[in-house]
Amino acid sequence: MEKELSEMSLEELWKLFPIFLTEHKDIWIKWFEEEKSSLENILPQSQITRISHIGSTSISTIWAKPIIDILVEISVNCCMETIKLVLLDNGYTCMSQSEGRISFNKGYTKNGFDKKVFHLHLRYAGDNDELYFRDYLLHNKKIALEYEKLKLKLWKKYEHDRDGYTNAKTEFIEKYTQEAKRILLTTGHHNQC
């Protein structure tokens, strides 16, 4: 009998769901828009402040893991646990939870990745560093290509170690997130990153 995902060790999960990168696919934007529409239908609109496409699939000029990252920001007076229950009832699985943050996935099956795979990051409004990094890469093609080069270098080394892959990118991401914030504070224009 096959193990359920919840019974698998981290190593077994990483083997079943390896890191792999591919050229940008235009369909990713459509998948995000469809999932955003679905989320808007199931989540309480009065509590949602913004739903954003983040991560490398939102950057059309670079290779990415074919996983659509979505940031859902909710009102600071919203009960995060209520939103969590709605997402769990609608096909999402909780991956991790910490103070003011919950991460979910959708599209992970006991046979590997489904056709469409999503990571949803539930946060309170304003906890959105990913938007700064995304916008910086969108406006700085050279830095976006450096990021792509870093990811391609790390891909095979960390193919079965998702945490190692993520940790190896952290310094780069933090550097340019801080640069984007500095530019915003200096100019007052987010789109000039």
**Residue 21 covered by a domain:** yes
**Residue 139 covered by a domain:** yes
**Residue 136 covered by a domain:** yes
Q: Within a 10 A sphere around the Cβ of 139, how many other Cβ atoms? A: 15
* Residue 118 belongs to domain spanning: 7-192
**Residue 71 covered by a domain:** yes
Of the listed ranges 14-18, 54-58, 116-120, the least confidently predicted one is: 14-18
| pLDDT, position 193 | 39
Angstrom distances, CA of residue 12 to CA of 5, 62, 111, 160, 163: 9, 29, 12, 9, 14
**Residue 153 covered by a domain:** yes
Residue-wise pLDDT tens digits, 119-141: 999 999 999 999 999 999 999 99
Mean pLDDT of 86-92: 97
Output 159-163 pairs: Cβ under 8 A, ≥24 positions apart.
159/18, 159/19, 159/20, 160/11, 160/14, 160/15, 160/18, 160/19, 161/14, 161/19, 162/14, 162/17, 162/19
| pLDDT, position 189 | 59
Number of domains forming the structure of the chain: 1
**Residue 178 covered by a domain:** yes
Angstrom distances, CA of residue 20 to CA of 17, 32, 34: 9, 19, 23
**Residue 2 covered by a domain:** no
Backbone angles phi, psi at 60, to 5 degrees: -75, -10
Residue-wise pLDDT tens digits, 20-31: 999 999 999 999
Beta bridge partners of 51: 72
User: For the purposes of burial, counting CB atoms within 10 Å of the CB of 170, is it exposed (0-12), middle (13-18) or buried (19 or more)?
Assistant: exposed
Residue-wise pLDDT tens digits, 27-80: 999 999 999 999 999 999 999 999 999 999 999 999 999 999 999 999 999 999
| pLDDT, position 2 | 58
| pLDDT, position 50 | 97
**Residue 1 covered by a domain:** no
Identify the CATH number of the domain in which residue 57 sits: 3.30.460.10
C-alpha closest to that of 87 among 52, 127, 122: 122
